[in-house]
Amino acid sequence: MENFLTIAQIIVLLLLSGVSIYAIMALVKLRDLLSTIDSNLKEVATRTIPTLENLEVITKKIRVIVENFDEQIAMLKSSVETLKGVADNVAAFERRVQDAIESPIMEVMNSLGGVIRGFTSFFNRIIGGRSSRYEE
């Protein structure tokens, strides 16, 4: 029986040695895999950091552009309002001038028309005699 225990111990030690060798090989492969992952992460980090920095610069520039755009829109709005006010003032001035000038001119034109009709009637009576009475 002692032989059987010795043989069993030898078999168990050989199996443990095999498992240990397999574990060592698996750990070596795991170490290589982790090394590859580490190098890939370092490469990603080296490429990502400049991209993020560029993105930050671009974001700042966009913010400045938007602020300038807002300022320009405010100035444009103010200019348009001023231009509208000037146009309204010109239109009001035109109406006032038209009202101030139009009625005296119409009165003069009516008076001049009356004078011309009077002269025309006078000359028609002088030249035409009594026939001009029947025309009226």
68-114 tens-digit pLDDT: 998 999 899 999 999 999 999 998 988 888 888 888 888 888 888 88
Q: What angle do CA 123, 129, 133 make, to 5 degrees?
A: 90
Q: How far is CA 106 from CA 81, 99, 101, 118, in A?
A: 37, 11, 9, 18
Alpha-carbon dihedral sign for residues 64, 66, 69, 73 = negative
Give Cα 66 distance to the centre of its chain.
9
Cα–Cα distance for residue pair 30/69, rounded to 1 Å: 56
pLDDT at 64: 93
Cα–Cα distance for residue pair 134/70, rounded to 1 Å: 80
Closest CA to 44 of 52, 32, 56, 54: 52
Cα–Cα distance for residue pair 132/122, rounded to 1 Å: 10
Averaged pLDDT score across all residues of the chain: 88
pLDDT at 101: 86
Give residues with Cβ within 8 angstroms of 124, minimum separation 6.
132, 135
pLDDT at 130: 52
